[in-house]
Structure 1
Amino acid sequence: MASPESISRLDKLRALEAWLDWQLHQTRARIQEVEAQERQGQREPRGEEPPKQAERQVEERRRPRTPDWGLIEAGIGSPTAEVHRGDCWAAGKRLQEISRERAIAELADAARACEVCRPDRVLGTP
């Protein structure tokens, strides 16, 4: 098998051209199918979705909802509780989902605000 460095630029462009040609052929075939359905007064059957949209919906069902706010309880290495935005990358896997009101109350009760996502700024707490 040839290494990527040994493949010439022209060969790479020809491979790309072949793939794009295949994509164009697939697209034109799908257009013809849809045009034929419309001429016959048919639309795509109900309940059927384009494959990409169906795949996206399945993945969304599997993935847990991202909470708006979260709390990491005090423990080893963390002397105080810490409030995070739900999408904060620094929160890790120990993030416990909490409501907006509880996040505000925790910040007022000596919990620290995460220095990465700064929930105190979003919540308007000092």
Structure 2
Amino acid sequence: MSDLPPDLDRLRTLETWLSLSLKRVREQIAAAERPVQPRRSPRPPATARAAVPRRERTPDWGISSAGIGAPVAEIHRGDCFAGGAMQPLSAERARAELAEGVQACGVCRPDRVLNRS
């Protein structure tokens, strides 16, 4: 007999909670693994800050490659923590990949959003 709830709504709620909990644990691990940084000097003037390159925008959609630890390629939302290193995709390309049989991530469920259009 399973200790999991029998209905889909509670199973989805549990899935969401576990995903969020796993994300928090991974963030804590990353923080613990980071070397201790020395204290920084005061912020540089605004002119120096403007020269700093901007961080790349998170893509809306991505595909993770099959490989070690990932038996098949999957389509993910761009902000999905389960995606790991992803290749950015347009929404149209992500829809086409799903139509061709590429699996949708079970955590972020991009098929729910992409198939609405």
- TM-score of the pair, normalised by structure 2: 0.51
Aligned residue number for residue 22 of structure 1 = none
Asked if residue 65 in structure 1 is aligned to residue 57 in structure 2, the reply is yes
1:96 maps to which of 67, 76, 87: 87
- The alpha-carbon deviation at position 64 of structure 1 amounts to 1.2
- TM-score of the pair, normalised by structure 1: 0.47
1:87 maps to which of 71, 76, 79: 79
Amino acid at match of 1:107: L
Aligned residue number for residue 110 of structure 2 = 119
- Give the aligned CA root-mean-square deviation in angstroms: 2.7
SS at structure 2 position matched to 1:62: coil
Higher Rg of the two aligned structures: 1
Matches within 5 A, 1:47-58: none
Q: Which consecutive unaligned segments of at least 5 residues does structure 1 have?
A: 1-53
Report the identity percentage. 62
Matches within 5 A, 1:9-88: 62-88=54-80
Q: d(CA) in 1 for partners of 2:67 and 2:101? A: 15
Q: Which consecutive unaligned segments of at least 5 residues does structure 2 have?
A: 1-45
SS at structure 1 position matched to 2:107: coil
SS at structure 2 position matched to 1:78: coil
Q: d(CA) in 1 for partners of 2:68 and 2:104? A: 18
Q: d(CA) in 1 for partners of 2:53 and 2:107? A: 28
Bigger proportion of residues as helix: 1
Amino acid at match of 1:116: V
Q: d(CA) in 2 for partners of 1:87 and 1:101? A: 18
Higher relative contact order (CA 8 A, sep 6+): 2
Aligned residue number for residue 8 of structure 2 = none
Number of residue pairs the alignment of both structures matches = 71
CA distance 1:77–1:89, change in 2 (3 Å): closer
- The alpha-carbon deviation at position 70 of structure 1 amounts to 0.2
- The alpha-carbon deviation at position 61 of structure 1 amounts to 5.3
